[in-house]
Amino acid sequence: MHTYQNPVISGFHPDPSVCRVGDDFYLVCSSFEYFPGLPVFHSRDLVHWEQIGNVLDRPAQLPLPLPGAKASGGLYAPTIRHHGGRFWVINTNIDGGGNFVVTAERPEGPWSDPVWIDLEGIDPDLAWDEDGTCWCAFSGPAGGVNLARIDPAKGRVLEGPFPTWSGSGLKFPEAPHLYRVGEWWYLLIAEGGTERGHSVSVARSRSPRGPWEGAPGNPLLSHSGTARPIQNTGHADLVQAVDGSWWMVLLGVRPRGFTPDVHVLGRETFLTPVRWDEDGWPVVAPVPESHPAPGGAWHPFPEPPARDDFDGSVLAPRWISPFARPDGSWSLTERPGWLTLTATGPSLDRPGYTSVGRRQQHHDCRVTALIDPGTGRGGLSVRYDEAHHYDVQVGGGKAEVVARIGPVRQVMASVGVPPGPLALTVAMRTSGLVPASPELTDGGTTGPDTVAFWLGDPGAPEGRLLAELDGRYLSTEVACGFTGRVIGMYAVEGRVAFDWYEYVPAPTA
């Protein structure tokens, strides 16, 4: 019997939606202001997931370029389904256009241009009746869950919307998913807000039109008020495995630090088993840290390489950029074997700059990149948003560590460096934390981790520590919003080239 560890997709991968096609599972997540949008994952066992693409990977697919978005805006909760031999994703761009549907013959794409639907709200879902009728459940603008009968291929609303069941009375009933299981229709929703009160509730009816009966044990799942290491559990989707067992994918967080605890990786994707009681209601136990895996095939994928040498013709799908990635801002051919970034903005403190990065997925990790700034200026940034980021920046013969926390921007360290390529490292650790202030001992530490910046490799004799910063200021509870940390290469002046980028999920010095 195999055992899996939660989360099954770590780091900033919230609002998971899943479907099964034969022996394969496909999952999509929210991406908010990042481009490309809506990462697509494939699995054979619900435990091991491999990113195979992004749903929105062409600027033409967006009605307004995501540069018009804001931090934690852009692309909200998607739903993925398979019907009529095609994959369907329905989603909301809250910064332009509203709700839309895209389709593809293959989950890795290419995905179609959006078909827009005149439904005002967020978190849309798709479900088909036996006669082919398509229903869209969504969170309405006035609160509560609405339902409409639609033609998803043409974007037409055929009936409705009309209100349906809206939960057990907790705030923000949202994230609906509609299913036909046996003789019942089930409506799964999130409520309680996406913070510590987040929960999952369910209702059922003989018809998608209702009337709806809430489960007597609602909420179906919540970790609110518990000391469990996984919190904020909600925004779930159901799927049946090949062996007939039922499972739920959902978001959650792993907070750390002194009370009230903070989480820095964003909302992650977790997996938990589901059973059906004798009265036909789904029953979900608290989300485990580890659990026996679904029966059937055990299919680990090869781990993606820790180091990207930028020798290919395209960037891997895990690379993301805030708001946009204009064609002229990056190149893998201008200097073969290097990623060359061209500045499109002078500062990381407001949108419009050039950055390519990847999500932080482990509490203890290290990123090292070899940078040649030439006559430009750039480096490595740990980003939450434009008002919350830590950077190590090289240019003009010096290296600086800069902290931007809310309205405060401060240079934490500045040293001279020789021209030419040099290695930069940012390392996150959860032990030996820096104190909350220089006057306090370790007993006064409050942060979840320490973010350290180095010239060179921390494990090498020539490695030079530049600064160590408290990680809590790059957390959701401090910065606010729906995302998590992204560690990116950037340019804010001229052209800056990167020979390689290495992400190592391991405790660091």
What the block records as the tokens of 453 is 């910046």
Q: Which two tokens stand for residue 292?
A: 């026996």
Residue 15 is among the residues annotated as catalytic for this protein: yes
50 vs 136: CA distance, rounded Å: 28
Our CA dihedral for 116, 155, 171, 19, rounded to 10 degrees, sits at -100
Three-class HEC string of 373-405: CCCCEEEEEEEEECCEEEEEEEECCEEEEEEEE
Count of helix runs (H) and strand runs (E) in the chain: 1, 39
Region at 194 (left for phi over 0; alpha for psi -120 to 50; beta for the rest): alpha
Enclosing H/E stretch for 476: helix 476-479
In this structure, what token pair is assigned to residue 323?
């708001």
The token duo for 361 is 């997925």
Beta strands in 396-485 (DSSP E): 398-405, 408-416, 422-429, 450-455, 464-470
* CA nearest to 445, candidates 467, 464, 420, 471: 471
The phi, psi pair for 472, rounded to 5°, reads -65, -25
Q: Name the residue type at position 263.
A: H
Residues 6+ apart with CB under 8 A from 477: 260, 261, 262, 263
Cis upstream peptide for 458 (omega within 30°): no
The active-site residue out of 33, 95, 174, 391 is 174
Q: List the catalytic residue out of 15, 191, 237, 493.
A: 15
Question: What kind and span of H or E run contains 52?
Answer: strand 50-56
Exposure class string for 302-339: b at 16+ Cβ within 10 A, else e = eeeeeebebeeeebebbbbbbbbbeeebbbbeebeebb
CB neighbours of residue 22 within 10 Å = 7
H/E/C letters for each residue in 172-234? CCEEEEEEEECCEEEEEEEECCCCCCCEEEEEEECCCCCCCEECCCCCCEECCCCCCCCEEEE
Distance CA(247)–CA(251), nearest Å, equals 13
The reply to whether 386 belongs to the active site is no
Known catalytic residues are 15, 174
